[in-house]
Amino acid sequence: MDTPVILKTFHMGKMKEYFVMPGEELHTDLGVIKLDELGTKTFGDTISSHLGVEFIIQKPRAPDFFTHAKRSGAPMMPKDIGVIISNTGLCSTDCVLDAGTGSGILAIYLGGIAKKVVSYEIREDFLELARKNIALCGLSNIELRHGDIAQEIRKIDERFDVVTLDTGAAAQVVPFVPQVIYPDGFLAVYSPFFEHTKEIREAIEKTKYTEVRTIETIERDISFSERGTRPSTARVGHTGFITIARY
């Protein structure tokens, strides 16, 4: 194994996990794990710490990259990514145009399904971090491009099935989406604020789309305890609104 792995164990009723690269030693409060032993293991095997605590070895999947990958800023939450995937019907023959790349989390989810993802990021340092995250997850169908999507979209002469925008520049990009999207294609824009969402809706209204809707998804954990089962009382925070338009 020369790719990252998840090491997971249950201790005192709680799950503990580590996202590690095969290498030297991992020091945990449950003992030291010799990571070079991962070379002889496969996913599903266990590895023990010097205190005899067993950790199951798992292959990281997209939600693990959301939890553990290095971040340049706020990545899109899996619940919002799910809304984009389900409402665009993203599939294995699709080519996606994405911006901004950020930590690359949305691109990683999209790349796990689509044929190809082209993702633009204005900041070179963010692009480098995303490049590392994407390399770790082993996807070779994500092409990262450096540039301001508001300018670059004017020069793109490819067509895409799905366009995803998670950047403050989205309203400037929307007018050019019809030039790069196949008829039937979907645009999905993530906006943290009502004001930004309104701006996006107004920009879409000026283009030749066939359908548009804006949704917010509220996710609630269900807590299980001796006293009973109910939605978690932990605060449910707002993330963003997703506007989906079809061309």
Ligand X SMILES: C[S@@+](CC[C@H](N)C(=O)[O-])C[C@H]1O[C@@H](n2cnc3c(N)ncnc32)[C@H](O)[C@@H]1O
Nearer to ligand X, 196 or 201 (CB): 196
CB 247 within 8 A of CB 181: yes
* Residue (2 or 195) nearer to ligand X, CB: 195
Tokens 């449910």 belong to residue: 236
Q: Which is nearer to ligand X, 47 or 90 (CB)?
A: 90
SS3 21: coil
What is the phi/psi pair of residue 101, to 5°?
-65, -40
| 3-state secondary structure at position 82 | helix
Nearer to ligand X by Cβ, of 16 and 19: the residue is: 19
The two tokens of residue 137 are 């997850």
Q: CB of 178: closest distance to ligand X in angstroms? A: 19
State the burial class of residue 177 (Cβ atoms within 10 Å of its Cβ: 0-12, 13-18, 19+). buried
Q: How far is the CB of 72 from ligand X (least distance, A)?
A: 6
Helix (H) or strand (E) holding 105: helix 105-111
**Cβ 115 to ligand X shortest distance, Å:** 19
One DSSP character per residue, 134-156 reads: HHHTT--SEEEEES-HHHHTTT-
Measured distance CA(25)–CA(37) in Å, rounded: 10
List CB contacts of 137: < 8 A, sequence separation 6 or more.
Answer: 60, 62, 65, 108
CB of residue 43 vs ligand X: minimum separation in angstroms? 25
Q: Which is nearer to ligand X, 126 or 186 (CB)?
A: 126
Nearest-approach distance from CB 96 to ligand X, in angstroms: 12
Min CB(10)–ligand X separation in Å: 30
Buried residues in 145-159 as b, exposed as e (16+ CB within 10 A): beebbbebbeebeee
Q: With respect to ligand X, which residue has the nearer C-beta, 138 or 168?
A: 168
Q: Site residues (CB under 6 A) for ligand X?
A: 72-76, 99-100, 102-106, 120-123, 126, 148-150, 166-169
